[in-house]
Each structure stands twice: as structure tokens, then as C-alpha cells.
Amino acid sequence: MNIQSKSAPVDYGPAREEMAAYLKAGEEKAYALGNRGPIRYDDNGAVAQDILDAYWRCGFYVFEGVLGAEELADIEVDLKEILTRLPKEKDAPLDAQGRPALGADCQAPTLFWSKPLGDPFGGTDLANGRHPVKMTEPTPAQDAPDEVVYLILGSLQFSDACLRTYAHPDLLAVAAAVNGDDFVPFSDAIFIKEPGMGASVAWHQDGTTLWDSPTWDQGSHGFNFMGQLYGCTPANGVWVLPGSHKLGQVDIKALVAEAGSERLTDAVPMVCAPGDVAISNRQALHGSFANTSTDWRVTLNMGFHRRASVMGVMGGGIHSAPAVYDDARIKERSRIIGYAIDARKQRFPDETPFAYKPFADADEGHRWDDAARESLKDYNLLDLSI
Ligand SMILES: O=C(O)CCC(=O)C(=O)O
């Protein structure tokens, strides 16, 4: 890893020792769960049933070694470009070199800022109040900037490399195995947890709309793939309460009170090497701590739903304006799958591309070119947010 960190070392303050013990114990528990390994298929070409079983048992799975060196190098090139194109400071129209800043001309929400090591959502009403408890906010180094970008939404419009990863054939095979052949997009993002600066994401469950549906089950609110450019550790990675995706809405305040801090008993980290991709059920209780470690975490989030979970449903309003999702909306938002498959085919011509059934059935092709790239501007206004 060769991107520079801007800040001096920091730690968790008075909780540093408890935190270190919690991280170590959590990692041991995570490795004992039996939910990690490469993506494997059975003799009929279906994703191995034991992988799916472990995913449904735990609510997450770590797929090891999915993204190869070439793909990671492409992503890193784009990441560095993205970092240099960020606004000079929050809401500035220009980057540090005086060029139009990334996302400055977008209508859709793109850049999310936080004070270094802060928790912008915890204990607020933001995002339908789904993050009820504020996380500890350790003290950043004196030389840290006032605010940093920790989340970029609509990320596939900013990086061809991320778009190509979105169409990784093994990942889309898993998407089909989990959400059905007619799976649809949800939302895409890059989480950036810079050493000594990266914000917390307070404990939450992602789903907002189907908890009381008569057809609710453990997969109703879909999942996120979390592709790791530099890997992730207990200190900077996402933690999950295993099995919580089956429980309905959990009482997060009660769990924190029971544990005596935000170090929830029984939660475990999703520990990944560079190129690993976790799949995380959106109903599972999850969150991440402020990154006081010396390691970068850059996660490509790629979310997918069952078509039946969004069709005819009123969106939850977090990622996009509330609307009832119909066939036309779903089709328009799904175009990006076609573009991503073609973009990947152009970059990795020897790989067998994923065949997305809804497009194959409709005999629809998508060509990734400059016009398609232009058409993706603000595509996340149409995120299928449930
Ligand atoms: O990457 C993180 O730190 C948080 C991810 C998350 O909360 C999510 O994807 O819903």
C-alpha cells in the first residue's frame, strides 16, 4: 500500500486497553465461525451450498481472493484520482489544484464528510434514525483537517475500475444465488477509512421498509458486497452481530446498555486481505469504529436486492427521494449492470462474462462507451432504497 496518510498516530484514549482486548477477542471469534474462503461452485456450476448455508447462518461471509492484482491496481489508480479530485474543503466547488471538484456538479448525494474520528450519524435522526447510539469519538491528531470525506455514494460514475468490479462474474453469480436470477441493484459506495481519521459508522441495521411486511424473511432487505482494496482489520473493518439478520429490528440501545459500551458482546469483525470481498446481509446489525489504527481501509460497497423486495414498494427515502418503484424505474436503475458487464469484458477479454438473466431474456445488450459513461451521471438518484 503506497498512499500516504496525512495525520500523526492516535489511539482510543481512556478505552485503549479495553478496545485492544475487544478487537483481539472479536477476531478469534470471527475465525471460528466457518464463514470464509474462496467462491466455489458445485458440479452443476451453482455456488456451493455450504457457502450459502454459512452466509444465511451468520448473515455475512468473507470471500477470499476474489479481486486479482491487476484489478486491485486499476482500483488504486482510480482511488488516487478520486482523492485528488475531492473538494479542497467541505462544499468547495474546486479541488486543491483548482479543478472542478468530484461530485460538485451532481444533484444526487455523493460526498459525506465527518470530523476526523467522528460519528456523524450515531444518536441523530439522520437516515430515519437508524443509528440510535453515538460511538466514542477519539481525539484526532492536532494536525488533522477539520473534516474528511469518509463516504462517496454513486461511486460507479467516478471510476471505471469500480464499475468493472461491480460486474465480477463470481460476485454476480453469488448475487443471483442469494437474491434470485432477477436480482436488481440497490446502491453503490466507497467507504474511506483513513488511518487516524476515518469516521465511525454507528451500529445499525440497513433496512427501513419491509420489517413489518407479511412476507418479511431473513433476506428481505438484500445485501452489500464489500470489496477490500487494502484489506481490513478488527480496528478499521466492519463488525457484525452474527445471526442478527434473522431477528427483525433489534433494540440497539439495550444491547449497548447490556455491554456497557459500544463494544457489543458477541459482535465480530469481518477481517479481510486485499482483494477479499465480504457479503453482508443488510438486516444484520453492523457498524465500524473510528479508525485509530495505522491502516487504510477502502471498501467498494455494491448492494443488491431481490426484485420482489422492491417491485411496487415505496422506497425508504435514505439514498434517493421516496417513490414507488415500478418496472420502468427498476429497469432504468439496472442498466448499470449491463454497462458494467460490457466494461469488464473490454478490460478482461479472456474472462467469461456474467450473463444477467433479465437482459438475456429481453435480448438486450449494453455498450460501455463515452455516451454510456455520460448517461451514468447522477444515476444514484434512482437508487432502490429500502
Ligand atoms: O464500511 C463501513 O464502515 C460501514 C458500512 C455500512 O454500514 C453499510 O454498508 O451499511
Strands (DSSP E) along 255-327, which ranges? 268-269, 277-281, 286-288, 297-305
The answer to whether residue 29 is domain-embedded is yes
| Cα-Cα end-to-end distance for the chain | 36
Contact in structure between 384 and 335 (CB atoms under 8 Å) = no
Residue-level length of the chain: 386
The string of pLDDT tens digits covering residues 210-259 is 999 999 999 999 999 999 999 999 999 999 999 999 999 999 999 999 99
Q: What is the dihedral of CA 8, 18, 200, 235, to 10 degrees?
A: 70
Contact in structure between 219 and 206 (CB atoms under 8 Å) = no
CATH of the domain at 38: 2.60.120.620
Please name every residue paired with 314 in a beta bridge, in sequence order, or none if there are none.
324
Cα of 40 vs centre of ligand 1, distance in Å, is: 26
The answer to whether residue 327 is domain-embedded is yes
The answer to whether residue 6 is domain-embedded is no
Cα of 372 vs centre of ligand 1, distance in Å, is: 28
Nearest ligand 1 atom, CA 282: 10
In this prediction the pTM is 0.96
Largest CA distance in the chain: 61
Nearest ligand 1 atom, CA 200: 3
The answer to whether residue 340 is domain-embedded is yes
Please give the average pLDDT of every successive group of 10 residues along the chain, which has 386 residues. 62 91 98 98 98 98 98 98 96 96 96 96 86 93 94 98 98 98 98 96 95 96 98 98 97 96 97 98 98 97 98 87 93 97 98 95 90 97 95
The answer to whether residue 8 is domain-embedded is no
The string of pLDDT tens digits covering residues 300-312 is 999 999 999 999 9
Q: Which helix (H) or strand (E) holds 71?
A: helix 69-85
Question: What grid cell was written down for 349?
Answer: 477479454
Radius of gyration of the chain from its Cα atoms, rounded to whole angstroms: 20
What is the number of structural domains in the chain? 1
By CB atoms closer than 10 A (0-12, 13-18, 19+), residue 348 is: middle
> Which of 193, 288, 289 best tests ligand 1's pocket when mutated (most atoms within 8 Å of CB)?
288
Q: Whose CA is nearest to atom 10 of ligand 1?
A: 206
The answer to whether residue 363 is domain-embedded is yes
Q: How far is CA 91 from CA 95, 101, 379, in A?
A: 10, 9, 21
The answer to whether residue 228 is domain-embedded is yes
Range of the domain at 197: 13-382
List the one residue out of 168, 163, 176, 225 whose CA is nearest residue 358: 176
Contact in structure between 340 and 167 (CB atoms under 8 Å) = yes
Pocket residues: Cβ below 6 A from ligand 1: 191, 201, 206, 224, 238, 286, 288, 299, 301
Sign of the dihedral through C-alpha 225, 344, 45, 178: positive
The answer to whether residue 2 is domain-embedded is no
